[in-house]
Amino acid sequence: MDPVFYGPGDGEHHDAGPAQIFIKATGEHTGGSFFLAESTLAPGFAGPPPHRHRELHDMFYVLEGTLTLRLGDREIAAGPGSFACVPPGVVHTFRNESDGPFACSTSTRQPGGRTTCAT
């Protein structure tokens, strides 16, 4: 396996409308251990409906702005430097209620080395 380096704005880019996603590492880069992306959410981004994953750990590390997270019954305003790890089975969602952009690093980990951005 070779080392991987991506600078700011580098990586596999996905334009998801109000969300811009740059994939920095996939299971292929990490020997199947995790997936990592940098995401920017536009002001007012409503986020996905509340959901849970069967096997996936969803992780969020806030880089800039404030992310509103729903973790089970808790709602949290997460600022820069905040981290959340959502284990399988926990209902969660996220949104950007602010007037400015929000940036975070998202990571996922699934058993068996399968690492993707959803399941």
**Domain limits of the chain?**
12-76+92-113
Q: What angle do CA 57, 118, 81 make, to 5 degrees?
A: 50
pLDDT for 91-109, tens place per residue?
Answer: 999 999 888 888 888 777 6
Question: What distance in Å separates the CA atoms of residue 45 and residue 58, rounded to the nearest whole number?
Answer: 19
CB-CB contact of 63 with 37 (8 Å) = no
> What does the pLDDT read at residue 49?
95
- 78: tokens are 């997460």
Please, what is the average pLDDT of the chain? 86
Would the pTM of this model clear 0.75, i.e. be above it?
Answer: yes
pLDDT for 32-57, tens place per residue?
Answer: 888 888 888 999 999 999 999 988 88
Question: What distance in Å separates the CA atoms of residue 108 and residue 46, rounded to the nearest whole number?
Answer: 21
pLDDT of 60 over the 50 cut: yes
Bridge partners for 76 per DSSP: 69
pLDDT of 1 over the 90 cut: no
Amino acid at 93: T
CATH of domain 12-76+92-113: 2.60.120.10
